[in-house]
Amino acid sequence: MTSTIVNVEQAKAWGGQEGRHWAEHAERYDRAVAAFHFALLDAASILLDDAILDIGCGCGQSTRDAARRAQHGHAHGIDLSTPMLRHAREQAEREHLVNVTFEQGDAQVHPFVPESFDLVISRFGAMFFADIGTAFANIARGLRHGGRLAVMSWTSLDRNDWIADIRNALLVGRDLPVPSPGVPGPFGLGDPTTTRQWLNDAGFAAVDLREQRGPFYVGADANDAFEFMSATGIVSGMLEPLDAASHAAALDALHETLRAHRTADGVVFHASAWIITAIRR
């Protein structure tokens, strides 16, 4: 059963074309953030018998790998996206994981059983809440006292070439506002001071933000990267309002930017994320 959804805009996006694209290209998206994935799991210090909640689990790689570490425990993923959850369940079945489950829901308001989890994780999922403070307070109620939180979120635009350079390529003369912390999107948890305050107000202590830098992989070569990136939500959203001439110019600029980031390991950008950890008081 699907619980109440209050984050309507995000549910629409992730339940539609963007969610379908992520599900169809789950391995590519997972590879893009491979340098960050295990850093988050290591920071979470998963115990063998942990009951784990994965917020915004998407296609479920973080949930499944958490379940592998909690061999005598359980990992439960929650997300808004029907197509991504379908992929997550199918992949868990293919991998013969019996201690992992998935559920569609909005973690901002979902009625979690009080004090039922030892650990909450989120790999680039918690930054999409419509009301971040309310969401963390609701999540905290599902954590046992002394339970842990480990969340990964992007830091800022100027530290993330994979967004900044692609965004600049697609501007084609436009002057667009910079994404702001607190607004649902990549930098929703980007401001350390505000993030600490949200977590403290929600009932967390020992809040710590540590920067993790690493590569962000987008393709084997410029053409492969272009085919993939041109269908992503970030690119299609910026292209949508353009006229035909500007649209073509933007795509040419995108292709050139991807060429400029060719390396021996493929097309790679610099990326920076916060690993945010805390304890429920």
**Residue-level pLDDT, tens digit, the chain, 281 residues:** 446 888 787 888 778 889 999 999 999 999 999 999 999 999 999 999 999 999 999 999 999 999 999 999 999 999 999 999 999 999 999 999 999 999 999 999 999 999 999 999 999 999 999 899 999 999 999 999 999 999 999 999 999 999 999 999 999 999 988 877 888 899 999 999 999 999 999 999 999 999 999 999 999 999 999 999 999 999 999 999 999 999 999 999 999 999 999 999 999 999 999 999 999 99
Cα separation, 8 vs 249, in Å, equals: 33
Cα–Cα nearest to 35, from 214, 212, 220, 162: 214
Residue 5: left (phi > 0), alpha (psi -120 to 50), or beta? beta
pLDDT value at position 2? 45
pLDDT value at position 34? 97
Domain range annotation of the chain: 8-157+177-215+271-280
pLDDT value at position 182? 83
pLDDT value at position 125? 95
Cα separation, 131 vs 8, in Å, equals: 12
Quickly tell me which residue has 């690493």 as its tokens. Answer: 214
143-154 and 117-123 strand pairing: parallel
Cα separation, 264 vs 174, in Å, equals: 33
Cα separation, 147 vs 121, in Å, equals: 11
Domain 8-157+177-215+271-280 has CATH 1.20.950.20: no
